[in-house]
Amino acid sequence: MLESFSDAAHKVVMAAQQEAKHLGHKYIGTEHILLGLLLEETGMAAKVLDSSGVDLGAAREQTENLSGRGGGCSGLICTELRFTADAKSVLELSIKQARHKGHHQVDTIHLLLALLLGSDRMVTRLIENQGADVNKIRAQASHIASYAYHT
């Protein structure tokens, strides 16, 4: 599935995995993808989130408050983190969004758009808890994805 992802989008997925491990989670959820987007600072998604007031530190803290800390990873469990059903759906939707917008590769803006269109309530809560407007971010991401190809 990830073969159609740009380098920046791959970095987001890898960062999401690292964030999950850091929190001791044995899965990669939509909240980890959001953190990965914020970490890939050169990506257009991070710029949109930052301009909307979504902060990485606050998102990490809220993720830990809402999801808790896991018991940690060891051995195969750490190397074999699996995507939750919601996270997998977001990755699949990002591919559809990229194609719908006429792009051959999934980039960070497509991941953000997919998170905001097809995500569980976790991501929207993380964003709204920081005072940002999810609908405004979604519209901005859709506009950017429609008119230009950005990382």
11-42 pLDDT, tens digit each = 999 999 999 999 999 899 999 999 999 999 99
How much is the pLDDT for 79? 61
Confidence of residue 150 (pLDDT cuts 50, 70, 90): very low
Topology classification of domain 2-147: Double Clp-N motif (1.10.1780)
Structure confidence at residue 30 (pLDDT)? 95
**H or E element at residue 78:** helix 76-79
- Confidence class of residue 10 from pLDDT cuts 50, 70 and 90? very high
Question: pLDDT confidence of 69, banded at 50, 70, 90?
Answer: confident
CA–CA distance, 126 with 61 (Å, rounded to integer):
10
Confidence check: pLDDT of 1 > 90? no
Q: How far apart are CA 16 and CA 105, in angstroms?
A: 19
Nearest-CA neighbor of 134 among 125, 144, 143, 147?
Answer: 125
In the chain, % helix, strand, coil (3-state, to 5) comes to 70, 5, 30
Q: Which two tokens stand for residue 80?
A: 């074999």
| Token pair recorded at residue 32 | 């980890």
Question: CA-to-CA distance for 117 and 94, rounded, in angstroms?
Answer: 10
Phi then psi for 83, rounded to 5 degrees? -75, 140
Please write the tens of the pLDDT for every residue from 130-149: 999 999 999 999 999 887 65
Residue 82 has pLDDT above 70, yes or no: yes
What is the average pLDDT value for the chain, to the nearest integer?
89
Q: Structural domain boundaries of the chain? A: 2-147
Q: Exposed e or buried b for every residue in 129-148, given b needs 16+ CB within 10 A? A: eeebebeebbebbbebbeee
Q: What pLDDT, in 10s, does the model give residues 88-128?
A: 999 999 999 999 888 889 999 999 999 998 767 889 999 99
Strands (E), the chain: 27-28, 82-83
**21: Cα separation from own chain's centroid:** 15
Query: Over 60: is that where the pLDDT of 151 sits?
Result: no
Give percent above pLDDT 70 in the chain. Answer: 89
